C-alpha cells in the first residue's frame, strides 16, 4: 500500500479510545470492520460506516491489518490466542498492530508466536488520551521490525500526528511506560508544590503561571495544575488506568532489576487515591491524597 492509498482494517476494541480511532480510520477512507465484546459498541460504529464482525477472526478475515485497542494484557492475549483468535485466523495482510498499553514481556512473546506463523506484530501504544484519539492527534510509539512498521504507518497517519518507530518489538511499550512514570511523578511534584504553596498562603494560580516560565515547567503543571488548584477531581485520564500502567512499569522494572523508588512511592499514592474511591477520577485527583495528609479532606 502506498503512502496515500487506503486499505482494509479490522479494528478490535471500541472503548473510549478505540471507537474514536476507528472513526478516524473510516474518515481517512479505510474500509473498517469492527469487533468488540459489547455488541452495542459494534452497532454504534456500524451505523457510522463500519462493517460489523462477530469475532476477532471475522474482523481479520479480509483485512490488510488488524488493530487492537484493549484495556490490558489479558484482553490482547485473548484476542491473539483465544478461540476465533488472530494466531489461528490472521488477517489476509499478515499484520497485527496492538495500540493498547500492555506488558512488554507479553508483547515480545506474541511477536515471536505470530512471527513463527508468518504474521508481523507491531506494538504501538499511544499518548494523547481521549482528546488526542478524537482529534486524530495521538502520539504513536511503535516497536517492531522496520518493514512491518512501514506497512502500518499509513494507517497510523489516520489516527495520530507524531508517529515514531522507536525500535525492536516491545520498544513501543517500553517508551510508553517511561512516559507514564514521568507523568505520574510530575503530577506528584505539582501536588507537593500546591500543598506547600497553599500552606504558605500564596496565590496558587499566579504561582503556577510564574513557575511555568522557568525550570519547574511541565506539561502536567500546565494542563492539570488548574484543576488541582480548583480542587476539581472530575474527568480526565483516570486514576485506575494510570495505576494499571504503573503496575506494568513495576513489572518491567522488576524483570530487568531496575529499582525505581520514585515510581514506587507515587504508585502507593495512587493506590491510596483508589482506596478512597477516586479510581474513576482524573489523575489530578492525586492532590486529594495531599488534602487528606494535611487534614483538609
Among 135, 206, 234, 275, binds a second copy (CB under 8 A): 206
Structural element, H or E, at residue 220: helix 219-223
Q: Which stretch binds a second copy (CB under 8 A): 39-47, 56-64, 77-85, 122-130?
A: 122-130
State the minimum distance, in angstroms, from the CB of residue 271 to a second copy.
13
Among 86, 220, 227, 285, binds a second copy (CB under 8 A): 220
Give the 3-state secondary structure of residue 160: strand
When asked if residue 241 is in the footprint of a second copy (CB under 8 A), the reply is no
Q: How far apart are CA 270 and CA 266, in angstroms?
A: 6
**Using an 8 Å Cβ cutoff, are 7 and 85 in contact?**
no
Catalytic residue selected from 115, 176, 223, 244:
176
- Using CB under 8 A as the binding rule, the residues of this chain from 3 to 32 that contact a second copy are none
What's the rounded Cα separation, in Å, for the pair 61 and 90? 7
**How distant is the alpha carbon of residue 63 from its chain centre?**
23
**Mode of pairing for the β-strands spanning 138-143 and 126-127:** antiparallel
Q: Is the Cβ of residue 150 or residue 256 nearer to a second copy in the bound state?
A: 256
- By CB under 8 A, is residue 167 in contact with a second copy? yes
Piece of the chain touching a second copy by CB under 8 A; list 14-22, 38-46, 66-74, 126-134: 126-134
Q: State the nearest-atom distance from the C-beta of 149 to a second copy, in Å.
A: 13
Nearer residue to a second copy within complex by CB, 97 or 140? 140
CB atoms within 10 A of CB 195: 18
Least separation in angstroms between CB 286 and a second copy? 11
- Name the residue nearer to a second copy (CB basis): 19 or 165: 165
> Which of 61, 89, 243, 260 lies at the binding interface for a second copy (CB under 8 A)?
260
User: How far apart are alpha carbons 126 and 142 in whole angstroms?
Assistant: 9
- CA distances in angstroms from 218 to 133, 193, 231, 242, 282, listed in the order given: 22, 13, 19, 18, 18
Cell matching residue 142: 511503535
The yes-or-no answer on residue 176 being catalytic is: yes
Helix (H) or strand (E) holding 250, with range, is: helix 239-255
Q: Using the rule CB under 8 A, is 253 a contact of a second copy? A: yes
Q: From the list 6, 269, 271, 276, which residue makes contact with a second copy (rule: CB under 8 A)?
A: 269
Report the catalytic residues: 176
Amino acid at each position: 500500500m502506498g503512502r496515500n492509498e487506503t486499505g482494509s482494517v479490522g479494528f478490535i476494541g471500541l472503548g473510549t479510545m478505540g471507537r474514536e480511532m476507528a472513526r478516524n480510520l473510516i474518515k481517512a477512507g479505510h474500509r473498517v470492520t469492527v469487533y468488540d465484546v459489547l455488541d452495542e459498541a459494534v452497532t454504534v460504529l456500524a451505523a457510522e460506516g463500519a462493517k460489523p464482525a462477530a469475532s476477532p477472526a471475522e474482523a481479520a478475515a479480509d483485512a490488510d491489518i488488524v488493530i487492537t485497542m484493549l484495556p490490558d494484557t489479558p484482553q490482547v492475549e485473548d484476542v491473539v490466542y483465544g478461540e476465533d483468535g488472530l494466531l489461528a485466523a490472521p488477517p489476509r495482510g499478515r499484520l497485527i498492530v496492538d495500540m493498547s498499553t500492555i506488558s512488554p514481556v507479553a508483547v515480545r512473546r506474541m511477536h515471536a508466536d505470530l512471527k513463527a506463523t508468518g504474521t508481523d506484530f507491531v506494538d504501538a501504544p499511544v499518548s494523547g488520551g481521549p482528546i488526542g484519539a478524537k482529534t486524530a492527534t495521538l502520539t504513536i510509539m511503535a516497536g517492531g521490525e522496520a518493514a512491518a512498521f512501514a506497512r502500518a504507518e499509513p494507517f497510523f497517519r489516520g489516527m495520530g500526528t507524531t508517529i515514531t518507530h522507536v525500535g525492536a518489538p516491545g520498544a513501543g511499550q517500553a517508551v510508553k511506560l517511561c512516559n507514564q512514570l514521568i507523568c505520574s511523578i510530575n503530577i506528584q511534584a505539582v501536588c507537593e508544590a500546591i500543598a506547600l504553596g497553599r500552606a504558605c498562603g500564596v496565590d496558587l494560580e499566579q504561582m503556577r503561571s510564574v513557575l511555568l516560565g522557568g525550570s519547574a515547567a511541565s506539561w502536567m503543571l500546565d494542563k492539570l495544575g488548574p484543576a488541582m488548584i480548583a480542587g476539581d477531581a472530575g474527568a480526565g485520564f483516570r486514576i485506575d488506568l494510570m495505576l494499571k500502567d504503573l503496575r506494568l512499569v513495576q513489572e518491567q522494572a522488576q524483570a530487568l532489576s531496575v529499582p525505581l523508588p520514585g515510581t514506587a512511592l507515587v504508585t502507593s499514592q495512587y493506590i491510596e487515591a483508589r482506596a478512597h474511591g477516586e479510581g474513576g477520577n482524573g489523575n489530578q485527583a492525586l492532590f486529594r491524597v495531599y488534602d487528606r495528609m494535611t487534614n483538609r479532606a
